Amino acid sequence: MNIYDIAEMAGVSIATVSRVVNGSSKVSEKTKNKVLKVIEEAGYTPNVFAQGLGLNTMHTIGILVPTISDLYMSSAVSYLEEGLHNIGYDCILSCSGYHATEKDSHLQMLLSKRIDALILVGSTYAGSEDKSHNTDYIRRASEEIPVFLLNGIIEGENIYCTASNDYQATFDATRRLIEDGRRRILFMTDSRSYSANQKKKGYIDALAAMGEKVDPDMEIFIKNDVDYVRKSFGQYDDLRYNAVLATDDAMAIGVLKYLTDRSVAVPKDISIIGYNNSSLCVCTTPELTSIDNKVKLVATQTIERLEEVLHGEKMVAGKNVVACELIERGTTAFSDMDPRR
């Protein structure tokens, strides 16, 4: 009889058994009573095991990302790992991809480790408005341990979200383009995630607020790959766009390369704004204007909140929003700025 058997018999993770044994407040009364009942019936002496296993002190956080090869994700994980290390926690990393069943199975793997909390990186975990992406698996996890979500907002007890304000960022960028005389603005995305939807909503609301027509043809769903966009973008010539707002820098650069190949003047004839303010932005000619979604700030605030929650702080808000910033470079030339590059 050991902690794994108790966990199995109670239908919870060993982390939950650990928490019950150690009197953590992060377990619901219902779960706690279920586990204590199993422990009692089994004649289990938890403290000896728990202390022997060092369950109180594993100090390990599970991090789930769709992929680590993405520039945004690797930055986020880098800041998270550094922050966790500084407060004495190690991290177990798992890359789930973007499919629902894989996300769930990777999450279950992490829960089966002795993790103190779970961090989900990227809005893919927050589902989308069309309900096909279910987020119940996250709420189930949050019954066992606190769950932290980066760049997505979902509701639930023991779930703590920190997201950049993508809605406001695309709203402001779109308005800025319109004020600058660009009224044919293409919106490009590769995702229907929570954050992609926020970005699209900001774009549409800004068009409406400025009295511009909202044209669904101007919303383009395309692969986030420089070469792919560059080679296939000719199909949108008929749209006679004079500005492009992309939800990732790579897409925006694909358009810039396409236009440069055809000697179209950027930003004179067409303005381009990317997203994430990645290291790619300074590589292009002209350099790419991009929305900085403050990945470092989102990550460090997540760690601060995680520390508060794990220290038993009760007043940590479930939702925390960080403002983005438009970083102006050579692919835009707004009239109120001094174009340096």
- Binding residues (CB under 8 A) for a copy of itself: these are 2-4, 52-54, 60, 63, 67-69, 71, 74-75, 77-78, 81-82, 85, 90-95, 109, 113, 226-227, 250, 253, 257, 260, 279-280, 282-285
Q: Which residue has the tokens 């609301």?
A: 205
Q: How far is the CB of 332 from a copy of itself (least distance, A)?
A: 17
Question: Looking at beta carbons only, is 78 or 168 nearer to a copy of itself?
Answer: 78
Q: How far is the CB of 71 from a copy of itself (least distance, A)?
A: 8
Q: How far is the CB of 95 from a copy of itself (least distance, A)?
A: 5
Question: Looking at beta carbons only, is 37 or 85 nearer to a copy of itself?
Answer: 85
Angle, alpha carbons 84-321-153 (nearest 5°): 85
Q: How far is the CB of 155 from a copy of itself (least distance, A)?
A: 29
Question: Looking at beta carbons only, is 22 or 165 nearer to a copy of itself?
Answer: 22
Taking a C-beta distance cutoff of 8 angstroms, is the pair 2, 27 a contact?
Answer: no
Q: How far is the CB of 75 from a copy of itself (least distance, A)?
A: 6
d(CA 7, CA 244): 53
Q: Are strands 159-164 and 185-189 parallel, antiparallel or unpaired?
A: unpaired
d(CA 215, CA 240): 12
Q: Residue 194 belongs to what H/E stretch?
A: helix 194-209
Question: Looking at beta carbons only, is 44 or 171 nearer to a copy of itself?
Answer: 44
d(CA 282, CA 256): 13
Question: Looking at beta carbons only, is 284 or 289 nearer to a copy of itself?
Answer: 284
d(CA 212, CA 204): 9
